[in-house]
Structure 1
């Protein structure tokens, strides 16, 4: 495996400034990840007495969960280290997507492991990697699919269908999946026949057969890929975790006014610096969800001294909610603004690995940490990668194209190449014909218009029809000429679909299993073994 650094903009201006011009966004964050002294500073802050979950109970809960997923011995060794008060954590997370979701999930897990390894070496103390599965999220349509590139050069969407209407909007961790067979068959049909295919499908079928939810299936796949590297998995909606979160939910409820004021302040500060806030800030938000008796996840809003849902159809007494926190903490869930502080309460977070959008919305949370007597951790940009397969690389070399040509001017370069192949000069010759026709025809138009002004309109309509017929013949002739280059055009299409599917970054579309099917799993292990590299964040990986 060869990694070639490649600087590329994500289009997220705040995250770009965080990575390249930190002084512009310094007021939004506590630590400058580009300053190596930040590691010691953050570790020293964590060593102070602070508001946090019971470490022993946390480890016991994580042991139960990781055991259920069948995680590897190395992850349990990391959990044993987490028992020790000097052990710190690098954390990052994602929603539980079908077949692990898009490639960026794999890159985030790899970055977490790399960062934990490097921090441990630098600080001379144990630092373990934790992957936070956002199982409390309820948007099933956002995570129930995965994309692959078929041998027929089609970007295929594989989708997990529920056998019954979903009904209430409950968390993904509470949504039972009755049948995995159709999604597995879709994946089977989309993959090439390779030496790796049968064992991969067998692994998937085994994991699916043991999984009741998409979150559990996701966790089993992540344990299989990364457990050997000591990655600890945590489901944010796990009952054991919820029990530990009770004191923090109490604090968030009791300080809901100050917390939301801090959110609004962060939103305004991001705006003042000239960026578009990446998360909603509502003047009456309580920044918490509650699960109703039917399992529906409802976002809470303040209405006077009470709390309500968005439409004010349900009303909750704050004292009642505090009693529920004490006895039924599993009824509560964080929103995007309070998840960072809950994460920091549960874990001794040295650093959090984030994507560009996450870096942007975390910029709104500094005051939220502070109003709760906490401190924002170090934020590490996750690695961004583009996988370059050998066949695609050869095609690009044949056409003399660069990665920039593909990503930023594909159509322009393709059309230029086609023009160069046009030995008959069709475009030029048809342009000449249209020009010559107009030169001959327009004097006639002037003549007939002088006979009868009404003839002018008829003549112009006739002119347009003739031009359209010439252009029709030009289009058909061009298509026939291009058919002679069908193989080359197919190669160009393969380049485009491999590197820029659906007009988006490869890592945000394709699923890892099509690459595991071609190259096995060794390349993932090799990726994890690479040293942490944050400048530049993006690299081309030559497979």
Structure 2
């Protein structure tokens, strides 16, 4: 198996919208600013430089320095924070939920992608600086989406009640999770590293935002990754004019609704609300709605007049939280950002937002689908070679793979298409004869044709079934291998946690990711560790 990649089209795991975007389908051009090609970053830099106020840089640097207070920032991280004061510095950003212990593998792939793209851009545009950003989704309130991770065959879950933004959530109770995880890890140098990483991240920090910052900083701080928390008073102050616009004019609802009409042939990722803001406190994140000429907070008794809510915005902007429609705008307002790197689902909903950016006079970033990876071991590659499996085989539907390999292993042709075609031709003559006589005879001929074709199909299925029994041992090894690589017949990167692979490979895992991932190449990378 010499190839170490497979196209996104061949993988079968990407939506029609993403496939059309990746081939630059002309009908989608109105939904994005520039396609992610190296040469397109030059004009993107020029546009963002004109659109991003210089004074915002000071606020951003101060906010980051405050957020890193109490954390050990590497020299590379400190340098990158300082570089943001320079008007020639721009960011490449990815975002992710505060999944327990990073959650699924693609957390790593997102961050490696932003770091590697920054390196590539520095070579192409040496007069500028490029800084990788991980935007922590601290204001999310979907705790059930983040309170677990899978380690090998065990789902390790944090059971507790949660209300409000997850970033402010206390880490109390994670000692029990640590005990379960430590038991699963067992002994060994890599196991001890993972235990210490979990312990230092979650048991030595008071809230989930700080724990996640520590974790991401330990994994990627040496590469200069900046970890940004948007739940910040000073950063929200920069966003006040846009929150006011949303409250009074529902700009995003009108623009995104119009864009959604252009995406009728695709599955829409998100639908806008009339007001795309939440009211935020430590234990509350509830929608703001406008009813009876008043602003109300869902599921509370809070009610504001227009004057009152605008006064609250002026004095306490941190109590307003953008939803999935407005969060990208918030990000691009406060950052000198050129490109957002996300999964297919994320890029899909970003494609719904360009008109809203234009209405707010904010540069729309380049949208880049993150690298996707399949991690394998040498032993698994050897098994695939012995079974004469290609990567395309292993990525295919399991039933399709099962049938295809049965055909290959059989000593004779299991496809009765030729016989069925021959039978149809014989009945063509009978049907011509029948058309010249009684209608009842014609009906009998057609019924007989259907019966005999069905009989051949049944024989074909029985023969395939018989051959599967004969070759069952080899077929079972194929399915077993595919199940190892694609848990629950889904992508490994959407389920497995990095700890499972670090436990076996140690730092080789990160080293290989940095070596093999090329963000501007749209392909599914297979990495043997």
TM-score scaled by length of structure 1: 0.79
In the other structure, the counterpart of 2:4 is 4
Q: Take 2:141 and 2:63, find their aligned partners in 1: how far apart are those partners?
A: 23
Of 28, 32, 35, the residue aligned with 1:32 is 35
Q: Alpha carbons of 1:354 and 1:493: their partners in 2 closer, same or farther (altered >3 Å)?
A: same
Of 209, 219, 224, the residue aligned with 1:230 is 224
- Report how far residue 510 of structure 1 moved: 0.6
Task: Note if 1:158 corresponds to 2:169.
Answer: no
Alignment of 1:296-307 (within 5 A): 296-303=284-291, 305-307=293-295
Q: Take 1:404 and 1:184, find their aligned partners in 2: how far apart are those partners?
A: 39
Output one character per residue of 1:278-324: Cα deviation in whole Å (capped at 9) or x when no partner: 10234xx21111125x7311112333543334579753323222111
Task: Note if 1:85 corresponds to 2:114.
Answer: no
Q: Take 1:514 and 1:85, find their aligned partners in 2: how far apart are those partners?
A: 42
In the alignment, is the contact (CA less than 8 A) between 1:300 and 1:309 conserved in 2? yes
In the other structure, the counterpart of 1:275 is 266
Task: Note if 1:540 corresponds to 2:526.
Answer: yes
Q: Alpha carbons of 1:419 and 1:184: their partners in 2 closer, same or farther (altered >3 Å)?
A: farther
Q: Alpha carbons of 1:66 and 1:201: their partners in 2 closer, same or farther (altered >3 Å)?
A: same
Task: Note if 1:372 corresponds to 2:360.
Answer: yes
In the other structure, the counterpart of 2:500 is 514
Q: Take 1:130 and 1:217, find their aligned partners in 2: how far apart are those partners?
A: 17
Output one character per residue of 1:391-445: Cα deviation in whole Å (capped at 9) or x when no partner: 22122222222233333243454578789999xxxxxxxxxxxxxxxxxxxxxxx
Alignment of 1:8-407 (within 5 A): 8-34=11-37, 36-48=38-50, 50=52, 54-124=56-126, 125-149=128-152, 155-162=153-160, 165-166=161-162, 169-191=163-185, 193-254=187-248, 256-271=249-264, 274-282=265-273, 285-291=274-280, 295-303=283-291, 305-309=293-297, 314-407=302-395
SS at match of 2:514: helix
- Report how far residue 243 of structure 1 moved: 4.5
In the alignment, is the contact (CA less than 8 A) between 2:148 and 2:156 conserved in 1? yes
Give 5+ residue unaligned stretches, structure 2.
411-465
In the alignment, is the contact (CA less than 8 A) between 1:53 and 1:244 conserved in 2? no
Q: Take 1:53 and 1:248, find their aligned partners in 2: how far apart are those partners?
A: 17
TM-score scaled by length of structure 2: 0.81
In the alignment, is the contact (CA less than 8 A) between 2:112 and 2:517 conserved in 1? no
- Report how far residue 493 of structure 1 moved: 5.6
- Report how far residue 232 of structure 1 moved: 0.2
Q: Take 1:3 and 1:248, find their aligned partners in 2: how far apart are those partners?
A: 48
Q: Alpha carbons of 1:264 and 1:531: their partners in 2 closer, same or farther (altered >3 Å)?
A: same
Q: How many residues align?
A: 469
SS at match of 1:31: coil
Q: Take 2:55 and 2:4, find their aligned partners in 1: how far apart are those partners?
A: 42
Aligned Cα root-mean-square deviation (Å): 2.9
- Report how far residue 519 of structure 1 moved: 0.6
- Report how far residue 103 of structure 1 moved: 0.7
- Report how far residue 194 of structure 1 moved: 4.0
In the alignment, is the contact (CA less than 8 A) between 1:66 and 1:232 conserved in 2? no
Q: Take 2:70 and 2:475, find their aligned partners in 1: how far apart are those partners?
A: 49
In the alignment, is the contact (CA less than 8 A) between 1:128 and 1:231 conserved in 2? yes
- Report how far residue 490 of structure 1 moved: 7.7
Give 5+ residue unaligned stretches, structure 1.
150-154, 423-477
Q: Take 1:318 and 1:378, find their aligned partners in 2: how far apart are those partners?
A: 36
In the alignment, is the contact (CA less than 8 A) between 1:146 and 1:157 conserved in 2? yes
